Amino acid sequence: MKRVAQIEIGQRFGAVGSGGKITRFYEVRSLFRSSLDSLCYARIVDVGDRHHTKVFALAAMADGRRFMPLPPRDYRPA
């Protein structure tokens, strides 16, 4: 079984669009396991429009072709 990268509540991701450019920014609001298919999911919210939410399987969130993890908000490069 393939191991899925650690995804946490509050983590931010950029949605990767055509050409590999980040099109929107999302933040993980909650994590849950579905009782229907036993897969783990993340509920994400658009950082620019808090009313726009989506649900993705954690495997999709960890796929670099779809989402790019962003550094924490308090990240300060050296």
Run of H or E including 39: none
Q: What is the pTM of this model?
A: 0.80
Confidence (pLDDT) at 1? 42
d(CA 76, CA 47): 20
Confidence (pLDDT) at 34? 92
State mean pLDDT over 52-65: 92
Confidence (pLDDT) at 6? 85
pLDDT in tens, 36-58: 998 999 999 999 999 999 999 99
What CA–CA distances, in Å, run from 59 to 14, 48, 54, 73, 76? 15, 24, 15, 23, 28
